[in-house]
Amino acid sequence: MNHISSETLRKISHPVNVSAIGPNVESLAGYAPSLLPGQLGDRGFCREIGIRYPYLGGSMAKGISSVAMVEALGQAGMLGFFGAAGLAFAEVEAAVDRLTMAGVPCGFNLIHSPQEPDLEAALAELYILKNVQLVEASAFLSLTLPLVRYRTHGIHRAANGEIVVPNRIIAKVSREELAEKFLSPPPEKLLRQLLDEGAITAEQAELSARIPMAQEITAEADSGGHTDNRPAIALFPTIASVAGRMEQKFGYDVKLRVGLAGGVATPAAAAAAFAMGAAYIMTGSVNQACVESGTSTAVRKMLAETRQADVTMAPAADMFEMGVNVQVLKRGTMFPMRAAKLYDLYRNHDGLDGIPVAERDKLEKTLFQAKLDDIWRDTQAYFLKRDPRQVERAASDPKHRMALVFRWYLGQAAHWAKDGAPGRMMDYQVWCGPAMGAFNEWVAGSFLEMPEQRRVATVARNILFGASVLTRANMLRYQNVQLPADFTVKPFEDTEIKEYFA
């Protein structure tokens, strides 16, 4: 085993060629060729998307992945997805206009909305109308008509015979069955429906049967927000093998690719993702902690103090009745406990009137801070404008009315956090995964420890730079060169590493 000199160690900390010299100066103990951040991941993917680095900022609902964040990532040669979920239509439209004006590579979230199918269709139409050519599709359980319509819009054959598909979908999945669906051509039944509606021509339907719904899928492991809590190192190889099978089965003209999200917020995690063959990495939790995110200063401060065990699962507002959970912060807020209490009451009672008086009093004093009847009045007014069918159903179904009232609390809790509502800290719903704790541990003692220093592109560059260095350190390890057990790469100011991103 060869011990490495401190001089070599210093050199290894930058991704240029380095030879580790053995105890005898003439002997070469190991060699680690240069590896710059721009060489990580899938080069073809970066080229096609128009970015320089295989780093994607995932969509974060309610504009938490904000216009400013997407713009900053785009300017840095990376890609951000605007967090369209949960926003009013006009807000998404304004974000599309602003980012189009900015002229940077960017994408938008197209989220499946089982409760509001009209909204999903309207968003897909907006993206088509505004010529948005890249969306992140998420929360889909199967492929829907609006999604297929988006993907196949404008498909044609070029003069050289190549199939040109203007609209690209990067789909986020955590299950094999869903990966299969996205990596397959659009379902025939939906293509026929589009043909019947006159949305596509017969030639377009025929071409559409030869392309995958998504050329890229992001395997989403244990993450902030909606998650199946799968470990990244278990999930990624499985999803990658689905991609291999689908490529063989359909013999597409294009290469299928798989990226990795969930748990990535450190150089070591990024290096591991690329070592497994990830075409790109996608981050989320750590970006919410950055200054450009659309959340509040109060939440950014909470996130800066988060450790890995400070997250837990809690009922989700959008799929509350189905018992779906999301991963949230538990430190500094009572939201997870309170939301779980509501789900418990929902399961055990047929309507608000069935809740014992003492329990109802407690809810009105603590969680709702208002009479439940008043909350129902507000909720009703909201749904009368947005989706009157909900109000109709609630009139004859007291359990549905209870669900809508409880979902009011879950929905507001996310707003209170995002707005930094001072009297509501105990109710903040902050979506967050264990990656946040990993990041905080990594940057402890560096300038990135301070929330106000966390700029999304600086964080991204450090994760990529560190991944290059750690990958090279491993090359030396495989050659029997011994590195210190705690060998790591601490964060650098942008000016210190800019030459590696030139």
Binding site for ligand FMN (CB under 6 A): 58-61, 64, 83, 85, 109, 111, 136, 138, 172, 220, 223-225, 261-265, 282-286, 288, 431-433, 435
Instruction: Tell me whether residue 30 or residue 433 sits nearer to ligand FMN (CB atom).
Output: 433
Task: List, as one string, the DSSP characters of 30-80.
Answer: EEE----GGGSS-HHHHHHHT-SSSEEEPP-TTTTS-HHHHHHHHHTT-EE
User: Closest distance between ligand FMN and the C-beta of residue 208, in Å?
Assistant: 24
Q: Which residue is nearest to ligand FMN (CB)?
A: 284
Instruction: Tell me whether residue 186 or residue 263 sits nearer to ligand FMN (CB atom).
Output: 263
User: Closest distance between ligand FMN and the C-beta of residue 325, in Å?
Assistant: 14
Residue 119, C-beta contacts closer than 8 angstroms, at least 6 positions apart: 89, 113
User: Closest distance between ligand FMN and the C-beta of residue 160, in Å?
Assistant: 35
Torsion of CA 277, 280, 285, 286, to 10 degrees: 100
Strands 257-261 and 311-315: unpaired
Tell me which amino acid residue 88 is. Answer: A
d(CA 489, CA 401): 53
d(CA 477, CA 494): 28
Stated length of the chain: 502
For residue 328, the cross-strand partners are 312, 431
d(CA 493, CA 383): 48
d(CA 167, CA 152): 7
Chain-centroid distance, C-alpha 201: 34
d(CA 382, CA 405): 11
Instruction: Tell me whether residue 128 or residue 261 sits nearer to ligand FMN (CB atom).
Output: 261
User: Closest distance between ligand FMN and the C-beta of residue 232, in Å?
Assistant: 9
d(CA 453, CA 244): 41
Instruction: Tell me whether residue 185 or residue 437 sits nearer to ligand FMN (CB atom).
Output: 437
Contact present, 83 and 135 (Cβ < 8 Å): no
User: Closest distance between ligand FMN and the C-beta of residue 60, in Å?
Assistant: 4
Instruction: Tell me whether residue 152 or residue 223 sits nearer to ligand FMN (CB atom).
Output: 223
- 3-state SS string for 327-368: EEECCCCCHHHHHHHHHHHHHHCCCHHHCCHHHHHHHHHCCC
Q: Which two tokens stand for residue 98?
A: 């602003």
Instruction: Tell me whether residue 18 or residue 310 sits nearer to ligand FMN (CB atom).
Output: 310
Instruction: Tell me whether residue 68 or residue 200 sits nearer to ligand FMN (CB atom).
Output: 68
Instruction: Tell me whether residue 167 or residue 293 sits nearer to ligand FMN (CB atom).
Output: 293
